[in-house]
């Protein structure tokens, strides 16, 4: 297991945002832009350039974070249409309101706060207005891994493990939203509890509890292979 786990760590997506800048700017040097190539600049440096209207800097931030934002939204919302609408608004707002970003807050935290708030607002509107606007999907050419079995097949050659992975991923959608959210943010987006606390406005101890109980429920799915859980719902059933 140890070896397998190490392998999984090495397989982290290359496009994962560089959440940790090389050096955090101090309060004194926030106005000094270091003469580094944009591609190697920290998120905070790029954001400072964005605040001065540098669209090239913002496009680099977009490259760094678009996959994270899109994936987070897709995991939470469950359909690509919502992802498209919200994600566009996320980046437009991030650019338009770049001035509201304050150091030394991590850019990922700031960005996911925007994303989460927009997703919540969007969900509320959708509840009030069930009529959906079917928009043109502009995620053309994207790699959407929405099928848990295909994901599981790529993860391992072990058929038994593939089944377990697929069951866990499918069960993830049946978790209560608060538990699902903390797992998505903590496991899939690699955010710390401090960051999640800032994004969600929920205390870290509560988040830890949600993480624990969420994983526990998913663990039962792995061990119980479709057992009935607390709410009487059969988890892991094919076709969800």
Return the residues of window 74-93 that contact another protein according to CB under 8 A.
74-75, 80, 83-84, 87-88, 91-92
Inter-residue contact 210 to 179 (CB < 8 Å): yes
CB of 139 to another protein, least distance (A): 5
Taking CB under 8 A as the criterion, which residues in 114-143 touch another protein?
137-143
Bridge-partner residues for 228, per DSSP? 234
186 sits near another protein (criterion: CB under 8 A): yes
CA atoms of 196 and 98, how far apart (whole Å) = 21
Structure tokens at 103: 């150091």
User: Residue 228, SS3?
Assistant: strand
Taking CB under 8 A as the criterion, which residues in 153-172 touch another protein?
154-156, 161, 164-169, 172
Q: Give the HSE-up count for residue 130: Cα atoms under 13 Å, Cβ half-sphere.
A: 0
Residue span binding another protein (CB under 8 A) among the ranges 29-37, 120-128, 144-152, 232-240 = 144-152
| Per-residue interface string for the shown chain with another protein, residues 34-63, x marking contact by CB under 8 A | -------------------x-x--xx--x-
CB of 119 to another protein, least distance (A): 14
Taking CB under 8 A as the criterion, which residues in 187-226 touch another protein?
187-188, 192-193, 205, 208-209, 211-212, 215-216, 218-223
What DSSP line would sit under 40-72, residue for residue? GS-HHHHHHHHHTT-HHHHHHHHHHHHHHHHHH
Size of the site for another protein (CB under 8 A): 75
Is the Cα dihedral 193, 113, 133, 150 positive or negative? Answer: negative
176 sits near another protein (criterion: CB under 8 A): no
152 sits near another protein (criterion: CB under 8 A): yes
Length of the chain: 240
Residue span binding another protein (CB under 8 A) among the ranges 18-26, 32-40, 112-120, 183-191 = 183-191
Omega before residue 104 within 30° of 0, cis:
yes
Closer of 23 and 234 to another protein (Cβ): 234
Closer of 114 and 165 to another protein (Cβ): 165
- DSSP element (H, E) containing 220: helix 204-224
């Amino acid at each position: 297991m140890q070896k397998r786990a190490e392998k999984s760590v090495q397989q982290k997506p290359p496009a994962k945002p560089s959440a940790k800048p090389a050096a955090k700017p101090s309060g004194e040097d926030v106005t000094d832009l270091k003469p580094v190539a944009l591609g190697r600049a920290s998120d905070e440096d790029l954001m400072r350039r964005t605040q001065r209207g540098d669209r090239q800097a913002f496009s680099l931030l977009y490259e760094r974070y678009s996959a994270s934002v899109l994936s987070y939204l897709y995991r939470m919302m469950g359909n690509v249409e919502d992802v498209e609408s919200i994600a566009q608004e996320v980046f437009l707002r991030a650019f338009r309101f770049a001035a509201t970003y304050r150091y030394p807050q991590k850019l990922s935290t700031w960005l996911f706060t925007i994303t989460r708030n927009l997703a919540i607002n969007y969900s509320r509107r959708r509840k009030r207005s069930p009529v959906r606007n079917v928009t043109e999907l502009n995620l053309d050419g994207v790699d959407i891994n929405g099928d848990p079995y295909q994901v599981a097949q790529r993860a391992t050659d072990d058929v038994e493990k593939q089944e377990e992975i697929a069951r866990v991923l499918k069960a993830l959608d049946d978790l209560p939203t608060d538990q699902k959210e903390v797992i998505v943010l903590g496991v899939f987006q690699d955010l710390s509890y401090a960051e999640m606390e800032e994004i969600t406005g929920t205390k870290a101890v509560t988040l830890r509890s949600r993480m624990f109980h969420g994983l526990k429920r998913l663990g039962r799915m792995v061990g119980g292979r479709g057992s009935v859980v607390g709410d009487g719902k059969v988890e892991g059933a094919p076709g969800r």
